[in-house]
Amino acid sequence: MLKFHKRELAFRGFNLVLIDLDLKREISPLLPKSCRYVPTCSEYSMQAFEKHGIVRGTGLTAWRLCRCNPLGGSGFDPPRWFDEPRPSEDDQDI
């Protein structure tokens, strides 16, 4: 079983955030605006890491990316763990 120290997890999480910011800054301007969800997948990922930490944040980000396809849903979808209630459209100030 793998064991990680808190410092190592924080460093790995920091690296994921840097990669996300780099992709957002370098690649996103080249692509057309085509996000199906609010917040965008990149913003969702950042919020998931801030709210739920690296382990749950990674899981939520992967789940969101799996749902982001032509057959998936769309609309307001903030990061929330699976047992949390779904927020209403009026709660978009997250």
88 located within any domain = no
Residue 10 pLDDT > 50, yes or no?
yes
At 63 the pLDDT is 92
Do the domain assignments include residue 1?
Answer: no
pLDDT of 93 over the 80 cut: no
Query: What average pLDDT does the segment 72-92 reach?
Result: 78
- The answer as to whether 12 is a domain residue is yes
CA distance 28 to 23: 7
User: What is the arithmetic mean of pLDDT over 62-82?
Assistant: 86
Rounded Cα distance between 47 and 4, Å, is 22
Between the two ends of the chain, the Cα-to-Cα distance in Å is: 36
Please report whether residue 90 resides in a domain: no
Token look-up 């849903």 returns 73
Per the structure, the count of domains in the chain is 1
Q: Residue 49's domain spans which residues?
A: 6-82
Q: Is residue 29 part of a domain?
A: yes
pLDDT digits (tens, 9 = 90+) for 38-63: 888 888 888 998 888 888 998 999 99
For residue 93, being part of any structural domain is answered with: no
Is 57 within a domain? Answer: yes
* Residue 92 is assigned to a structural domain of this protein: no
- What mean pLDDT value characterizes the chain? 74
